[in-house]
Structure 1
Amino acid sequence: MTSIKNSITGLVLEYDSGIIPPPYSHVFRLALDWSKGDLSTALDLHYTEREELSEEEIFDEGFTPDDDYRYKGQLNSVWIKPLQQLFDKTRWTSKDIEDGGITVTAIEKGKDEGVKIPSNQEEWQLMAQDLIQAIYETAKKEAPLKIDYRQVEGDQLTDCSLTVHFSVREVVFEKNGTSRVVNWDFAIQLMKIVFTPDYHYELAKEEAGTKRGAYINCGDGYWHELGKGVVNIDPGFDAVKKIRIGFTDLIQGE
């Protein structure tokens, strides 16, 4: 008997941010079709409820008045297997998602199998975000995400970087002019932690520090010192320490 994951030829992901206020509130529909072996993709993303906001208010939050985006084209087929694996392990729920969430519709040989609500909402939302980022890179709308890191211990200075290529689902770690591909899940988890603490830009520098410590540049040209310019928000979660450990493991080749 053919398993479900092998019989599915596509998925449709639909998301509504729910109660999140504008300019962040948005909806999207992401259609994925691998029935012919490649990965055909169609994205329709729309930001909602911005009518009462001024352009200045929108710009102040880091957006523009025209952030809606549509794409129709191909993505690298490397994404097909992770999608199949996530679908195969997912448990479905009848729980309402009126306050926001994502739904999944499986397509089997061109037939719509009906809308399902995944119980592992966060995993599906993260998958959708990764796919949208892959679309942005493929369409040259955005460049790959790159984090620069400097570790200074005594007279030893180590510069390295971590670059996430969503378009090909690959993460490259570079140190001292040499590079290697690192585990995707480890790197994505580290990237998530990198953006967890609070960054104090009034303490940021345009050059990395040379005194003992750790320094990070999240791609905007500013260097922040961990523990001083980068501080934890949640006292119960030491993100700064986890960032240090993550990059130390990469530097040591683990």
Structure 2
Amino acid sequence: MNSSKSSYTGLVLEYDSGIVPPPYSHVFRLAMDWTKGSLSVALDLHYTEREELSEEEILDEGFTPNDDYSHKGALDSVWIKPLQQLYDKSRWTNKDIEEGGITVSPIEKGKDEGVKIPANQEEWQLMAQDLIQAIYETVKKEAPLKVNYRLVDNEQTTDCSVTVHFSNRQVIFEKNGTSRTINWEYAIQLMKLVFTPDYHYEMAKEEAGKKRGAYIDCGDGYWHELGKGVVNIDPSFDAVGKIKAGFEDLVSD
């Protein structure tokens, strides 16, 4: 079936992490319906194979003994168009996903039109992660992601921040007390870069640096100096330099 925007009014995403070990291994089903123009969602997320782990082992990995989550409710309708655009541009494959992956089922006139396996797995998995984060923000389970940045140059200090609101796909950039909305895709790419390098927490401080340099706080209250406490993992990819360039572009606009 070759669905178009006008013929389907919902999507069901089902994901299995596959060969990922516990406590990380999980499955989820995310059903979305925009029949009436608004977006209703139903999420069922379940972590798997944890019975072989002790509670201490689960806690040591940053989880809790019960991270399963179910929710039914509404999401901001701003998510409908990106979902439709991703679905309409996707190509489908018969490739087996036994080792983990995501499937997409279009809903037309209330009926499931069959399971499709997207060739662009990463795009769909990222979309699903963004939608789940949007749910968590909407129900106040988690706060929006806020990254703080300080640039000290020639005795001038510039403080700024980027706050990503998944709930309504808005990103707020704030500098010296003034704020503006910035491009969603630009911000998401910048956030991916932010979490690419290696952060040495033994060098982190609770206050931003005052000496010449660039400093970042990824939302946990710890400040790291780029190039010293934050270093590239892959020598062929200068993530640290790209982070600096990304924030400097925002600061200079």
Q: In which range does the TM-score fall when normalised by the shorter chain? A: over 0.9
Specify the SS of the correspondent of 1:24.
coil
Aligned counterparts of 1:54 and 1:232: Cα–Cα separation in 2 = 34
Shift of 1:7: 1.6
Aligned counterparts of 2:151 and 2:45: Cα–Cα separation in 1 = 39
Q: What does residue range 88-103 of structure 1 map to in structure 2 within 5 Å? A: 88-103=88-103
Gaps in structure 1 of 5+ consecutive residues: none
Aligned counterparts of 1:162 and 1:205: Cα–Cα separation in 2 = 20
- Does residue 106 of structure 2 align to residue 106 of structure 1? yes
Amino acid at match of 1:30: L
Aligned counterparts of 1:7 and 1:191: Cα–Cα separation in 2 = 34
Deviations for 1:147-176, whole angstroms, at most 9, x for unmatched residues?
Answer: 000011111110000000000011000001
Shift of 1:3: 7.0
- Does residue 171 of structure 2 align to residue 171 of structure 1? yes
Aligned counterparts of 1:195 and 1:188: Cα–Cα separation in 2 = 11
- Aligned residue in 1 for 2:222: 222
Q: What does residue range 59-138 of structure 1 map to in structure 2 within 5 Å? A: 59-138=59-138
Taking every aligned residue pair, what percent have the same amino acid on both sides? Answer: 80
Gaps in structure 2 of 5+ consecutive residues: none
Aligned counterparts of 1:226 and 1:54: Cα–Cα separation in 2 = 37
- Does residue 176 of structure 2 align to residue 203 of structure 1? no
Specify the SS of the correspondent of 1:115.
coil
- Aligned residue in 2 for 1:53: 53
- Aligned residue in 2 for 1:241: 241
Aligned counterparts of 2:35 and 2:143: Cα–Cα separation in 1 = 29
- Aligned residue in 2 for 1:44: 44
Shift of 1:44: 0.2
Amino acid at match of 1:146: K
Shift of 1:237: 1.3
Aligned counterparts of 1:172 and 1:63: Cα–Cα separation in 2 = 29
Aligned counterparts of 2:136 and 2:225: Cα–Cα separation in 1 = 30
Q: TM-score, normalised by structure 2?
A: 0.98
Shift of 1:246: 0.6
Amino acid at match of 2:66: D
Shift of 1:5: 1.5
Structure 1 outlier segments of 4+, above 2 Å:
none
Shift of 1:206: 0.4
Amino acid at match of 1:75: L
Specify the SS of the correspondent of 2:45.
strand
Specify the SS of the correspondent of 2:148.
strand
Shift of 1:228: 0.6
Specify the SS of the correspondent of 1:74.
strand
- Aligned residue in 1 for 2:21: 21
Specify the SS of the correspondent of 2:116.
strand
Specify the SS of the correspondent of 1:4.
coil
Q: TM-score, normalised by structure 1?
A: 0.98
Aligned counterparts of 2:97 and 2:110: Cα–Cα separation in 1 = 27
Aligned counterparts of 2:150 and 2:142: Cα–Cα separation in 1 = 25
- Aligned residue in 2 for 1:34: 34
Aligned counterparts of 2:33 and 2:201: Cα–Cα separation in 1 = 43
Aligned counterparts of 2:166 and 2:51: Cα–Cα separation in 1 = 32
- Aligned residue in 1 for 2:7: 7
Paired residues in the alignment total: 252
Please give the root-mean-square deviation of Cα atoms over the aligned residues, in Å: 1.0
